[in-house]
Amino acid sequence: MNEADVVLGFVGGAISEACRQELNTGITLEKNMIIMSHPDAAAQLQPYFGQNLVVIDPVRPDRVEIEILQYLKRINAQEDAKKALLALGTLALGLLILEPSHPS
């Protein structure tokens, strides 16, 4: 995490202690962070991540990519980083949509 330009987090529900430690490390290191969240976890994460939180709307999943791109423009991310993070974000979105415990 020390060498990362941007940290992409994904929280699907309850936050484990390991996840909490990683998120806190990102905050402590003052990393640019994008935290993708299922709506169930959004209220818990909003106070910590504010505009860096991307809530996944199962009805409008296309909004996730738009929000990630807007964030990357705000931080002036390099083009390669934009492509990689958008791909990872799309993958995480797909995993959430296909996860049986959160039907879309």
- The continuous run of DSSP H or E covering 95 comes out as helix 79-98
- Angstrom distance (rounded) from CA 12 to CA 3: 25
Ordered per-residue pLDDT tens for the chain, 104 residues: 888 777 878 887 777 888 888 888 988 998 888 888 888 888 888 888 888 888 887 777 777 777 777 777 777 766 666 666 666 666 666 655 555 554 44
pTM of the model: 0.66
- Angstrom distance (rounded) from CA 34 to CA 77: 12
